[in-house]
Amino acid sequence: MPEPPTKQRDPLRPLLAVGTCALLYWVVLNLVVPVGRFLGGEMVAITVPPLVAAAVASALAMAIFESRGFGDLGIALRDGTGWNFGMGCVLGLAAAALVILPAVGVGLAHYETVKNADIGWRAMLFMPVWLFCGAAGEEIAFRGFVQQYMMRGYGAWAGIFGVGALFGIAHVYNPGATWLGLVNTAVFGIIFGASLLRTHDIWLATGMHFGWNVLLPFLGVELSGLTIRVTEYRLVWKAGNIWSGGEYGPEASVLTSAVLILLALAVWKVRVRKGWAYLLDGEEPLDSAQSPQ
């Protein structure tokens, strides 16, 4: 007997879905940012509202286009969540350390005390919390509904590279942004996207993002053009901007470009726990036991 015809997907549906999610994100973000700024100042305004907006927009888009819940985007806590997030933190911290510490060791940079630095215990205690919110918000915004719907509609690597490029472009208005900084940021997005392909959850990517973001301020350098002071020391470079990244920070340096190669290899080889995401896997199997891969 002839096989039944295969149902063809609408090629425009992924773009419609992603565009709707982006519009919802923009609306919610503009509503929540003033509240965050009023309650907690500028640092809260640039970290917490994006997390709220990403969660609300992704949940609504998932409900509208798939009649599914927010946790089905590989966000729900499962047996392997802690492992993947912890492994991601290790990779992110190691990558940041490899960019900065060898440069200090060979004399390309040195530390100086910041005069009249207004640093208190609250900054050291709460800054990691705000930075986690910022990292989680960006991962949900890019690697949640948006990338997963693109991967399902146009293929895994088309979604990964396409959303990775958007991740780089999204930083174009950051202070001190350069072409190398945007390219490196896009490569970060591609690596984070590849980690989603490996784990089928967002937690490895979120851990890497958070580990990178949280260590750079403690090492006294800029983070994507933002100066976040948590200690009374800052890194002063003796080398040019191609090594230091200039105002954008080390993400715009060739040192980061080199470390990104190592990070990509590590993401592909590190042991992870397989998660589950509806847009990538379909219905969750009854036997959802996880093991390192």
Predicted confidence (pLDDT) per residue in 177-205, tens digit: 999 999 999 999 999 999 999 999 999 99
- Residue 292 confidence (pLDDT): 56
239 pLDDT tier (thresholds 50, 70, 90): confident
pLDDT at 286 over 90: no
Mean pLDDT of the region 93-100: 97
- Residue 5 confidence (pLDDT): 43
Whole-number percent of the chain with pLDDT over 70: 91
225 pLDDT tier (thresholds 50, 70, 90): confident
Mean pLDDT of the region 52-69: 97
**What is the average pLDDT score of the chain?**
91
Whether the full predicted model's pTM is greater than 0.75, yes or no, is yes
40 pLDDT tier (thresholds 50, 70, 90): confident
- Residue 3 confidence (pLDDT): 43
Mean pLDDT of the region 254-260: 97
Q: Which of 112-126, 164-178, 200-214, 276-290 has the lowest mean pLDDT?
A: 112-126
pLDDT at 4 over 80: no
Q: Which amino acid is at 140?
A: I
pLDDT at 274 over 90: yes
pLDDT at 120 over 80: no
